[in-house]
Structure 1
Amino acid sequence: MVAEEERIAKAALAEIPDDGVLILDAGTVTERLAAQLPADHGYTVITNSVSVALVLASRTDITLHVLGGRLHRRAGATLAMSRELEGLNVDVAFVVPGGVSFDRGLTSGDPAEASGKKAIMNAARSVVLLADHTRIGYDRLSRFAAFDEVDCLVTDTGLDPESATRLSARVPRLLRV
């Protein structure tokens, strides 16, 4: 899914305002997004991802905040960071769901991870969902959000036409790249 994730990350760049405050959720696609952030735009990046933090650690043009909490080793993300996000003023959150269920909305395989994703969404004025086509139609253990809580869903062209039609009726903007 390398090529698909590269296209998703590149398309997601258009959702970032100059001097923006961003939250990058854990995931390989957000790592790719972090690596593509243009220089000298005054970004502040908040992340729960160890990998995203490592990608951005040497960037002196970015203010980087790493959220604390217990490390979910499989996800490479910290958990239980809800309190750290309370009161923050974030422009856009980039969230990577474990699954996008047509019946239940956005899902995750771990309840603590789902809680963290919900906190990330609650801290932002705009939520951009980054989900390659293999996550669409897939339901995981814990539901963390409904489709109407998302401003944009960016996926790849591997998404079948029927699923694209169903998603277009549920999310304000669907981008297939």
Structure 2
Amino acid sequence: MSKQERWSKLLELLAVDGRLEVEGAAATMAVSPATIRRDLDELADQQLLVRTRGGAIAHGVSYELPLRYKSSRQVSEKQRIASAVADLLTPGDVVGLNGGTTTTEVARALTLRSGGLAERGENSAGPMFTVVTNALNIASELAVRPQFKIVVTGGVARPQTYELVGPLTQGVLNQVVLDVAVLGVDGVDPRLGVMTHHEDEAGISRLLTERARQVIIATDSSKMGKRAFARICGLDRIDVLVTDSGLAPDMAARLTEAGIEVISV
């Protein structure tokens, strides 16, 4: 198991239980306690968790999300999706992220990736990534990390999702240009496109697609073939869809026929 795989697994365990014990994590992952201690120390250095005597506890507002986030399923699938999305991004990219459980995992995966790049001496003088987001929890996680430049849109906060919406949000997005927009969605339909449950969130996600050179959809397979109330955009605007291995072959074929690169992990 590679370091990045161990880190992802540790964060997954932490997301479920809120705390970790070194001995228990070592047994679960079949590695030595010394390895787990080093991993926890490095994750703490990146402020992804807080070290305690004998283990770690969750760090930051992102682990204190509303019920919609706490009850999230497919945690391991979403972390694999997020890691695959992070691998598609190039250092120096300006990346737009909307709110949601999967895009929150993308932000964490970007942190892990940037840490690995820095270890190999691939960091530049400036920020490794510029992230433009309307999600308060994502901004909170990344703002403390010097390898990121964070642009928060402003707007009115939706307490259910920590997303900023409204004319103020639109005003900021109209002034920026993105290399990549990474969107979490609530539904993907071959005829209607990608959708979410709330029209104000859909409007912001739609604007992110319009400001980006490339659009990546990051969603678990439970959203495939589903419909939601508010349409974001058609499939013709999507370049890449990253999902888990539960994607049905016929759905994958239809998306590919629509010109979308489909990545299942």
User: Do these two structures clear the TM 0.5 threshold for a shared fold by scoring above it?
Assistant: yes
Q: Which has the larger radius of gyration?
A: 2
| Aligned 8 A contact 1:87 1:123 in 2 | no
Q: 1:138 matched to which residue of 2?
A: 226
Between 141-150 and 74-83, the greater mean CA deviation after superposition: 74-83
2:15 maps to 1:15: no
For structure 1, which runs of at least 5 residues remain unmatched after alignment? none
Structure 2 residue runs of 5 or longer lacking an equivalent are 1-73, 116-122
1:64-103 Cα deviation digits (max 9, x unpaired): 1111111122222111222211131211010111111222
RMSD (Å), alpha carbons: 1.3
Please state how far the C-alpha of 1:120 moved relative to its aligned partner. Answer: 0.8
* Bigger share in helix: 2
Distance, in Å, in 1 between the alignment partners of 2:248 and 2:257 is 15
Superposition deviation, residue 107 in structure 1: 0.9
Q: How many residues align?
A: 177
**1:174 maps onto 2:262 in alignment:** yes
SS in 2 for 1:46: strand
Instruction: State how far apart, in whole Å, the 2-side matches of 1:87 and 1:15 are.
Output: 25
The 8 Å contact of residues 240 and 262 in structure 2, kept in 1 or not, is answered as yes
The one-letter code of the counterpart of 1:91 is: D
Letter in 2 for 1:61: Q
Q: Kindly provide the amino acid, as one letter, of the partner of residue 62 in structure 1.
A: F
- Greater relative contact order, per chain length (Cα 8 Å cut-off, separation 6+): 1
**Native 8 Å contact 2:143 2:149 kept in 1:** no
Percent sequence identity over matched residues?
29
Q: Secondary structure at the match of 2:80?
A: helix
Question: Is contact 1:153–1:171 with CA below 8 Å preserved after alignment?
Answer: no
Q: Which runs of 4+ in 1 moved over 3 A?
A: none
> Which residue of the partner structure matches residue 238 of structure 2?
150
Scaled by the length of structure 1, the TM-score of the pair is: 0.94
| Aligned residue type for 2:163 | A
